[in-house]
Amino acid sequence: MSIDQILSQATSQAVKALYDLDFPAANIVPQTTKKEFEGNETIVVFPFLKASHKAPEATATEIGEYLVANCEAVEKFNVIKGFLNITIKPTFWTGVLHHVAETPDYGFVPVTDASPLVMIEYSSPNTNKPLHLGHVRNNLLGYSLSRIMQACGNRVVKTNIVNDRGIHICKSMLAWLKWGNGATPESTGIKGDHLIGDFYVAFDKHYKEEVKQLMEQGMSQEEAEKASPLMHEAREMLKKWEDGDEQVRSLWRMMNEWVYAGFDETYRRMGVDFDKIYYESETYLEGKEKVLEGLDKGVFYRKDDGSVWADLTPDGLDHKLLLRSDGTSVYMTQDIGTAKLRYQDYPIDKMIYVVGNEQNYHFQVLSLLLDKLGFKWGKDLIHFSYGMVELPNGKMKSREGTVVDADELMDEMIATARTMSDEPGRLQGVTDDEKAEVLRKVGLGALKYFILKVDPRKNMLFNPQESIDFNGNTGPFIQYTYARIQSLLRKASDDLAATDYSEVAPNDKEISIIQRLADFGAVVADAGKNYSPALIANYAYELAKEFNQFYHDYSILKEDDAARRVFRLVLSRTVGDILKRATSLLGMEMPERM
């Protein structure tokens, strides 16, 4: 039982004995005492005042006296207004450390066949370009969220919807036909998604030149864009695709396969994966079918031009187009179709969409439509809305080829880590292969941590150099702390089981670390409740920072008292274990040496 649970139960018993108040222990949540006050845990007594009929200070004092007399964990207390600050007996913390150290997967809730099923959608790439920095934030958030939700006791299905149809896809296809000269990833040595992205940029370059020439002939920009022969060809290709033209479909399949192979390589390097991938080319027709079903049931209505709409004015929104007058679908229709297929495939209890905040309105509408169509999780779907990510030199534009793509970013992060390894004393005595693996873990760990430590709702500026600093709130700082602990344990391998440490009374700094270790489960639960990997990231940083201060101030291997030396080694090992467990929720890997 954790210290919080012990105090909650003891306080519940106290208010029953003192005031005849039945107050559930589950509703009493101790907080870590603020650093400026004496104590380890704080209980707020205001909820008990009606029953005590006394001032907050008097009520807190009575409860404190009861706890000292009746709870073996409590040593003393002090009262600040309505806040009861409790000091735990030092030797009790030793037992807490033993509990954390000896509990496999401490902080994680076991998953069973009866656990709720949570589906998380992330990535959602287009097959006309490689994954870029924006996708990196999306993928890292989605994957981390999946790990956190599983750690909170949920079954999790990671899913992806690939945008593999539409005019943007046809632009790349048309450019390849016109200027590709039969180029393939094999013949050019260019990764498939990059190759197709190059043709998307080429289309835009030729299109802009075409528009410019038409404007020089006297057309307005709007007229020139409508008259562009190149854009007309792209629209014709899209129509042929929708009509099932085999020549167009064959080209589409070939080029998409190149892109998928490229995506797979990027996902593997990034350390993210999926349990199920859906494709818009397969879901949009399902969406049309579901919309027409809703039309028959009177959920939607048809206008005179044949288009189908949803009236959302009773819900405080407007009218939403679902099928155009020519019967073609819109993005909302595709999302309905994807939801239908997912619900057929899995008994979803909760659906989480990891999509940028520019789509807030879209998901507000989608939630209402799915609910009206009878999806039990529709109204409660979660739009995990996150902010934009930018580089110090500004925004990125896919059409102009100014995007920082994911592959280049990962290469840069590993190269930056390599400059670190050249410092004296680092990575000595390891093979080149071992060194390369450490650099990969450090570079990608820096990327993941820097992105995930930020509140996902906020826009962020990503600075590669800052992210790999060994002295700041960074992934490499946490990884180095872990590697330092592993080095310590390698030197002390014979000491760990040598002596009983159960009677050791920890000092204030050791108690502070044990308390932070014990908090891990609550932090994981909070991260799951608030859908926030940032809570895990910043917990790991604070734990690493506190351990480093301890490591600097106290002897471990040179401690003369054998029992205290073993106690400090167990404390160090447990910090390492919890750091590894926490960072695994961020998708980070921890090197054994740095």
Sign of CA dihedral 583, 585, 591, 594: negative
Domain spans of the chain, in order of start: 3-88, 406-584
Q: Does the structure show a pLDDT above 50 at 401?
A: no
The model's confidence at residue 399, banded by pLDDT at 50, 70 and 90, is very low
Q: Does the structure show a pLDDT above 90 at 497?
A: no
Helix/strand/coil (H/E/C) assignment for every residue in 517-575: HHCHHHHHHHHHHHCCHHHHHHHHHHHHHHHHHHHHHCCCCCCCCHHHHHHHHHHHHHH
The CA distances from residue 143 to 12, 244, 501, in Å, are 39, 35, 39
Write out pLDDT tens, residues 169-188: 999 999 999 999 999 999 99
Q: Is 592 exposed, middle or buried (0-12, 13-18, 19+ CB in 10 A)?
A: middle
At residue 414, what are phi and psi to the nearest 5 degrees? -70, -40
What average pLDDT does the structure give for the chain? 93
* E strand or H helix that includes residue 319: strand 319-323
| Local structure of residue 148 (DSSP, 8 states) | H
Which pLDDT score, from 0 to 100, does residue 500 have?
86
At residue 352, what are phi and psi to the nearest 5 degrees? -120, 125
Write out pLDDT tens, residues 523-557: 999 999 999 999 999 999 999 999 999 999 999 99
Asked if 88 contacts 73 with a C-beta cutoff of 8 angstroms, the reply is yes
Which residue from 467, 304, 474, 281 is spatially nearest to 389, judged by alpha carbons? 467
Which pLDDT score, from 0 to 100, does residue 11 have?
98
At residue 579, what are phi and psi to the nearest 5 degrees? -60, -45
How many CA within 13 A on the CB side of residue 219? 15
User: Could you identify the residue written with the tokens 């107050």?
Assistant: 23
Which residue from 171, 140, 245 is spatially nearest to 475, judged by alpha carbons? 140
Asked if 421 contacts 476 with a C-beta cutoff of 8 angstroms, the reply is no
The model's confidence at residue 86, banded by pLDDT at 50, 70 and 90, is very high
Asked if 476 contacts 544 with a C-beta cutoff of 8 angstroms, the reply is no
Which residue from 441, 471, 506, 381 is spatially nearest to 87, judged by alpha carbons? 506
Instruction: In whole angstroms, give the CA distance from residue 230 to residue 398.
Output: 19
Which pLDDT score, from 0 to 100, does residue 422 have?
67
Helical pair 133-151 and 246-270, crossing angle rounded to 10 deg? 60
The model's confidence at residue 431, banded by pLDDT at 50, 70 and 90, is confident
- What sections of 2-132 are H helices per DSSP? 3-19, 49-52, 56-70, 90-102
Write out pLDDT tens, residues 561-594: 989 999 999 999 999 999 999 999 999 999 998 8
What is the DSSP track for 331-381? HHHHHHHHHHHHHHHS--SEEEEEEEGGGHHHHHHHHHHHHHTT-TTSTT-
Write out pLDDT tens, residues 366-397: 999 999 999 988 989 999 999 988 877 654 44
Higher pLDDT among residues 492 and 194, named by residue: 194
Write out pLDDT tens, residues 293-349: 999 999 999 999 999 999 999 999 999 999 989 888 888 999 999 999 999 999 999
β-strands 117-121, 155-162 pairing: parallel
Q: Does the structure show a pLDDT above 90 at 199?
A: yes
Select from 3.90.79.10, 3.30.1360.70, 3.40.50.720, 3.40.50.300 the CATH code of 3-88: 3.30.1360.70
| Residue 396, both tokens | 């990125």
Asked if 412 contacts 464 with a C-beta cutoff of 8 angstroms, the reply is yes
Which pLDDT score, from 0 to 100, does residue 430 have?
79
Q: Give CATH superfamily name and number for 406-584.
A: Isoleucyl-tRNA Synthetase; Domain 1 (1.10.730.10)
Which pLDDT score, from 0 to 100, does residue 394 have?
52
Q: Coil, strand, or helix at residue 132?
A: strand
